[in-house]
Structure 1
Amino acid sequence: MIGKLLELIEKSVEVNQDEKELITRLFHEKKYGKGDFFLNEGDVCRNVGFMVSGVMRYYINDDGEEKTYGFAQESDFICNNESFLPQQPSRQIIQSLEDCTVLVIGYDDLQKFYSSLKSGERFGRLVIEKVFVKTLQGLNSFYTDSPELRYEKFIKEYPDLLQRIPQYYIASYVGVKPQSLSRIRSRNLHKK
């Protein structure tokens, strides 16, 4: 399990054998059943996770309506940085859509990761930069792109999720009702 994580880290920074052993000690495997919460509304995000298998959904509860704003799948990191970094209660929710295996690291152990690995802080910065850019792109897309274009971007970003998650979550992510998503999908098929 840890091999996938080490492989990802080594694509960005150099890691020696002692550092690999430390990483192995700092991350712990955790299983989530379908429907389980990695983070619930009002809880403080205490962990960063690395997805080994499965799919999770990021969403907020807006007056009883769930609004999906992202997904995490294999080889993605999961966290609500807005809660994790200041250790404050979360408004966002992260829930498993399939059975998931996740390698988790707590806040204190992540600080150890940063300070003990020669390139630990650099790796953390690279991950956060990627999350930051993806967040800005999603925000910009929501305000400037049509639902059709957001759906096309979803297909490009998450091609294998079309068959793995319910359509109403995709509709929520695109910002439309499920019936509208059906029409968008139909028009999209006819374009090809």
Structure 2
Amino acid sequence: MSDTLHIKQQLQALLREPLQDWNAFEAILQPVSYKTGELLSEAGKTSQAIYFIATGIVRVYTLHNGKEISLDFSFPGSFCASYASFITRQPAAVNIQAIMPVTGYAFHYADLHQLYHASHQSERIGRLIAEQQYLRKYNRELSFLQYSAQERYAQLLQEHPEVIQHIPIKQIASYLGIEPESLSRIRKNMNATE
């Protein structure tokens, strides 16, 4: 399956109705690729695109007192953006970085907004992507209140087993809100109970 077909299926799933404006969306897709460690979007600069990740993994992180805090990971088949910066046109507070080589597509701000003005369905897709991003953030915040770090880690592994292979332990620990040593203990306990 081509990557653009995968995007079409994702948009179709969001809409839950026939996707009439696919040709217009496909026309503004810009292929992108990033090497491990490269930034898709940089803190302090205004975000110019929403990305669809076809292959690879990216992380969203910020710096606090000189320490990197991982806020989110995006896996193949998902959209990611420094969304607050993208919609407000203000400098981003976060970095988006390739953890491993990444390929995908970018929807650039000007192209997307031109499409929104031309098509009600396209505008609706933009709103649905924003709602999806909100729900991801809401569920993540809720998980910190409802689940232990071990439960959050187990859920991450269940949803994305490739995490262990490709994401450094300190980034996973930061994402879980714990120190790497605590994650090592959690992993040891989980392995002992298997």
Q: What TM-score do the two structures reach when normalised by structure 2?
A: 0.90
Once the two structures are superposed, the pairs formed by residues 11-160 of structure 1 within 5 Å of their partners are 11-13=13-15, 14-16=18-20, 19-160=21-162
Q: Give the CA deviation at 1:144.
A: 4.7
- Identity, % of aligned pairs? 26
Q: Give the CA deviation at 1:97.
A: 0.5
> Equivalent residue of 1:113, what SS?
helix
Q: What TM-score do the two structures reach when normalised by structure 1?
A: 0.91
> Equivalent residue of 2:77, what SS?
coil
**Structure 2 counterpart of 1:7, from 1, 6, 9:** 9
Answer with 97-106 or 2-11: which moved more. Answer: 2-11
Q: Give the CA deviation at 1:81.
A: 1.3
Q: Which residue of 2 aligns with 1:176?
A: 178
Q: Give the CA deviation at 1:107.
A: 1.0
> Equivalent residue of 1:159, what SS?
coil
Unaligned 5+ segments in structure 2 are: none
Q: C-alpha separation between the residues in 1 aligned to 2:128 and 2:193?
A: 38
Q: C-alpha separation between the residues in 1 aligned to 2:4 and 2:139?
A: 30
State the AA in 1 paired with 2:133.
V
Q: Give the CA deviation at 1:147.
A: 1.6
State the AA in 2 paired with 1:46.
Q
Aligned residues: 190
Aligned structure 1 segments of 4 or more residues deviating by more than 6 angstroms? none
Distance 1:143 1:66, change over 3 A: farther
Q: Give the CA deviation at 1:114.
A: 2.3
**Structure 2 counterpart of 1:187, from 186, 189, 192:** 189
Q: Deviations over 1:109-150 (max 9, x none)?
A: 111232334421222222211211110121232345322122
> Equivalent residue of 1:61, what SS?
strand
> Equivalent residue of 2:162, what SS?
helix
> Equivalent residue of 1:52, what SS?
strand
Q: C-alpha separation between the residues in 2 aligned to 1:77 and 1:113?
A: 18
Unaligned 5+ segments in structure 1 are: none
Aligned-CA RMSD value: 1.6
Answer with 70-79 or 126-135: which moved more. Answer: 126-135
